[in-house]
Amino acid sequence: MVSPEPISFFGQVDRSTGVICDEKHPLYGESVSGKVLILPRGKGSTVGSYVLYGLAKRGKAPSAIICLEAEPIIAVGAIIAGIPMVDKPESYVFKTGMFVKVYADRGVIEVPGL
Amino acid sequence: MYLTRHEERILKGEEGYARQKAMEILVALGEIYEADRLIPVSSAQIAGVSYTSLGDDGIEWLESLEGAHVTIPAVLNPAGMDLENWRRMGVDPEYARKQIRIIEAYKRLGVRPLCSCTPYLLGMVPMLGEHVAWSESSAVCYANSVLGARTNREGGPSALASAIIGKTPNYGYHLDENRKAGLIIEVEVELKTISDYSALGYWAGKLAESNVPYFKGLKGVDSVRLKALGAGLGAGGSVALYHVEGVTPEHKTALVERVERHQFGEVELGEVYTNYFKPIPDRVDLAAIGCPHASLDEVKEVAELVKGRRIKDDSRLWVFTSIAVKRMAERCGYLDIIRAAGGEVYADGCMALAPLKDMGIERVAVNSSKAAFYTRLLAKVDAYFGDLRQCIESVIGR
C-alpha cells in the first residue's frame, strides 16, 4: 500500500484496527494491517511509535514498512514493535497492489518480475 | 556509526531484550542523523508518562522492558494527574489506575517517580557543556539555553533508551556547529509580565521553526522569565536552543555569520494575545497556572494575589508544579493561603494532559502561550491566554 502523504500514527491511524481514520488523509478508510506500507515519512507526536507497538501486539500492524526518508517516529516504532523496516530505497517503482519482498536485516527490497 | 565492542554486544542481545531494544533505538537514531558514535549522558528526562498520551499500547511496551534498569539519574515528564491527590482533582478512578500502572512500570525500571517539565527545579542541574537526554520541549530549551548543557529534543522512547544505556548518539545540539544563532530577534517593547515572555517565545518560535534565535534588547530577565520564553519557543516552533545577549552562557560565541533580523514590538506583542489566542473572558471554569511547572516564587505570587479573597463556587484555581516545589510551598505557608481562597496546588500533573473534559471543564484561562496551545489541542477545551492577574480575576467572585 503506497501512501502519497506522510502518516502520523498518533491521531491518523485507529489504534485498535489499523484503519486510517483521518478524513483528510488520501487513504482514509484503508487498513495498514498485513500490508507492506510505503510512505514518504512519519510525522506528528512520538507517541506514534507506541501506536505501532500496539498494532503489532494485536496483529494489526503493517507486515513491513518502507520509508522514503528516514525519520525517528516510524523507525523507533518499527524497532519496539518488531516490524521489518527499510528506508531510502534506491529507486521508486512502487504502486499499490504490487507484490514486494522486504529483507530488513539486509536492507534489501525485492520486486519479483522487475 | 562506530560502536565499541561492549555496545556491539548489547546490540546483539547479550545483555537481555530490554537493553538490546534500547541500543537498537539509539543506533537507529544515530544512523538517521549520521552520528559518528554514542556519547555518555549524565541524566534523562523521559516523556511518555500521562495515560492521555501513552495509552494502553505504551503501558504494554513499558511493561515489556521488565528486568532492565536505568544507569543514570532519570525523571519523568508530567503525568495526567497529581499522583497523590487525584481524587481531589476529580480524576476518574479508572484513569488513575492506568496512570499509576505507568508510574509503577517506570519505578521498576529505576526511574524516579518525579513527574515534571522542570527537572532543573528538582535538583537535576547539568552544567555548561554537559550532555543529557531530555524530552520535554521547555526543559530542553532551558537545559540548552540557560544552563548551556547539551540535549536534543528526545522522544519518549529515545530518552528511556538513553536512561537504560547511559548514552545518546552524537548529533544535533550535542555538536558545536549546531549551536550557532540562525536569526536575530530585536525586542523593542518592554516585557512586563511573565506571560509577555511567553508571548514573545510563541511568536519567535513560529518564526524560527527549528532554528536557533538570538535575542537582543531583553532587560531584567531571570530564570522564571527564561523558563516562560523557552516554553513559548518550544510550542510556537520546535526551538531547542536560544541565546539572549549578555545573559545566556553561550551568547558570545553564538553569532558567527550574518543572519536575518526581525523586530518584536508593541504591535507584535499585542497580536499574540489577540490573534493567536483568545483573551480571557469574565468567567471561566478553571484558571490553570504552572506551564511550565511553577517555581516557588510563582506559587508565592499566586498566594499573594488570592490572599483573603474567594474563588467562585463554580470555578477552580489550580497551580501545577513538581512535588518538590509543592512541598516547599506547603512549608512556606503559600499552600494554605491558596487553599483558604478555594484554590489548590497540584503536583506531577499538567493542565494540557489532564482529562479536563471528563471533569466537566470547558473553559480554561492560562498565563502561558504553551498551555493555551496544548490545552486546546490535547485536552480539547477552550483556552484563553492572558497574564496571571487576569487569570485569577476570571475565577474570583465579586
Closest chain A residue to the Cα of B29, Cα to Cα: A72
Residues of chain A with pLDDT under 70: none
With 0-12 / 13-18 / 19 or more C-beta atoms within 10 angstroms meaning exposed / middle / buried, residue B285 is buried
**Is the pLDDT reported for residue B164 higher than 80?**
yes
Mean pLDDT of B43-62: 92
What's chain B's Rg over C-alpha atoms? 21
Joined grid coordinates for residue A104: 530488513
Of A15, A70, A71, nearest to B57 by CB-CB distance is A15
d(C-alpha A104, C-alpha B162), whole Å: 24
Question: Using 50, 70 and 90 to split pLDDT, how confident is the model at B141?
Answer: very high
Q: What is the pLDDT of residues B304-334, one digit of tens each?
A: 999 999 999 999 999 999 999 999 999 999 9
Phi, psi for B115 (deg, rounded to 5): -105, 105
Strand partners, A87: A67
d(C-alpha B357, C-alpha B379), whole Å: 7
Closest chain A residue to the Cα of B53, Cα to Cα: A47
Map grid coordinates 508571548 to a residue.
Answer: B199
CB pairs under 8 A between A and B: 66
Closest chain A residue to the Cα of B52, Cα to Cα: A47
Q: What is the pLDDT of residues B283-301, one digit of tens each?
A: 999 999 999 999 999 999 9
Question: Using 50, 70 and 90 to split pLDDT, how confident is the model at B378?
Answer: confident
Instruction: Enter the DSSP assignment of B110.
Output: T
d(C-alpha B118, C-alpha B139), whole Å: 6
ipTM over 0.90: no
Is B56 within 8 Å of A54 when comparing Cβ atoms?
A: yes
Q: How far is CA B128 from CA A80, A95, B135, B144, B226, in A?
A: 33, 51, 18, 9, 17
Strand partners, B213: B183
**Is the pLDDT reported for residue B187 higher than 70?**
yes
d(C-alpha B237, C-alpha B165), whole Å: 30
Map grid coordinates 500500500 to a residue.
Answer: A1
Of A57, A70, A80, nearest to B32 by CB-CB distance is A70
Is B32 within 8 Å of A76 when comparing Cβ atoms?
A: no
Confirm if B11 and B41 have CB atoms less than 8 A apart.
no
Closest chain B residue to the Cα of A57, Cα to Cα: B57
Map grid coordinates 508544579 to a residue.
Answer: B321
d(C-alpha B118, C-alpha B18), whole Å: 28
Q: Nearest-CA distance from A69 to chain B in Å?
A: 9
Phi, psi for B150 (deg, rounded to 5): -130, 120
Question: Using 50, 70 and 90 to split pLDDT, how confident is the model at B72?
Answer: very high
Most A-contacting residue of B23, B52, B53, B57 (CB-CB within 10 A), to test interface: B57
Is B158 within 8 Å of A72 when comparing Cβ atoms?
A: yes
Confirm if A1 and A32 have CB atoms less than 8 A apart.
yes
Distance of CA B78 to the CA centre of its chain: 8
Structure pTM? 0.92
Angle, CA A18 vertex, CA A12 and CA A23 arms, to 5°: 35
pLDDT of res. B191: 98
| Amino acid, single-letter form, for residue A68 | L
- Does B32 contact chain A (CB < 8 Å)? yes
Query: For all residues of chain B together, what is the average pLDDT?
Result: 96
Whose CA is closest to A49, among B126, B282, B182, B156?
Answer: B156
Confirm if B355 and B319 have CB atoms less than 8 A apart.
no
The b-or-e profile of B87-98 (16+ CB within 10 A means b, else e) is eebebeeebbeb
- Does B60 contact chain A (CB < 8 Å)? yes
Task: Kindly list the residues from chain B whose CB atom is less than 8 angstroms away from the CB atom of residue A55.
Answer: 57
- Does B155 contact chain A (CB < 8 Å)? yes
- Does B169 contact chain A (CB < 8 Å)? no
Interface of B with A in 115-144 (CB under 8 A): none
Confirm if A68 and A80 have CB atoms less than 8 A apart.
no
**Is the pLDDT reported for residue B202 higher than 80?**
yes
Q: What is the pLDDT of residues B343-357, one digit of tens each?
A: 999 999 999 888 899
Q: Dihedral of the CA atoms A85, A15, B86, B69 (nearest 10)?
A: -20
- Does B276 contact chain A (CB < 8 Å)? no
d(C-alpha B158, C-alpha A46), whole Å: 10
Q: What is the pLDDT of residues B221-256, one digit of tens each?
A: 999 999 999 999 999 998 999 999 999 999 999 999
Of B24, B54, B158, nearest to A47 by CB-CB distance is B54
Strand partners, B288: B318, B366
Q: What is the pLDDT of residues B269-285, one digit of tens each?
A: 999 999 999 999 999 99
The b-or-e profile of B319-355 (16+ CB within 10 A means b, else e) is bbbbbbbbebbeeeebbebbeebbbbbbbbbbbbbbb
d(C-alpha B246, C-alpha B320), whole Å: 31
Of B56, B60, B155, nearest to A49 by CB-CB distance is B155
Q: Provide the 10 A C-beta neighbour count for residue A48.
A: 24
Joined grid coordinates for residue B156: 519518549
Confirm if B105 and B62 have CB atoms less than 8 A apart.
yes
For chain B, domains (ranges, CATH) are 5-175 (3.30.499.10), 180-276 (no CATH), 286-393 (3.30.499.10)
Task: Kindly list the residues from chain A whose CB atom is less than 8 angstroms away from the CB atom of residue B28.
Answer: 72, 75-76, 79
Question: Using 50, 70 and 90 to split pLDDT, how confident is the model at B398?
Answer: low
Q: Nearest-CA distance from B188 to chain A in Å?
A: 34
Task: Kindly list the residues from chain A whose CB atom is less than 8 angstroms away from the CB atom of residue B57.
Answer: 15, 50-51, 53-55, 57
pLDDT of res. A69: 86
Of A46, A55, A76, nearest to B28 by CB-CB distance is A76
Confirm if B383 and B364 have CB atoms less than 8 A apart.
yes
| Amino acid, single-letter form, for residue B374 | Y
Q: Tell me the catalytic residues of A.
A: 45
Q: What is the pLDDT of residues B122-131, one digit of tens each?
A: 999 999 999 9
pLDDT of res. A82: 92
Whose CA is closest to B366, among B295, B311, B289?
Answer: B289
Closest chain A residue to the Cα of B136, Cα to Cα: A46
Q: What percentage of chain B has pLDDT greater than the value 70?
A: 100
d(C-alpha B352, C-alpha B376), whole Å: 8
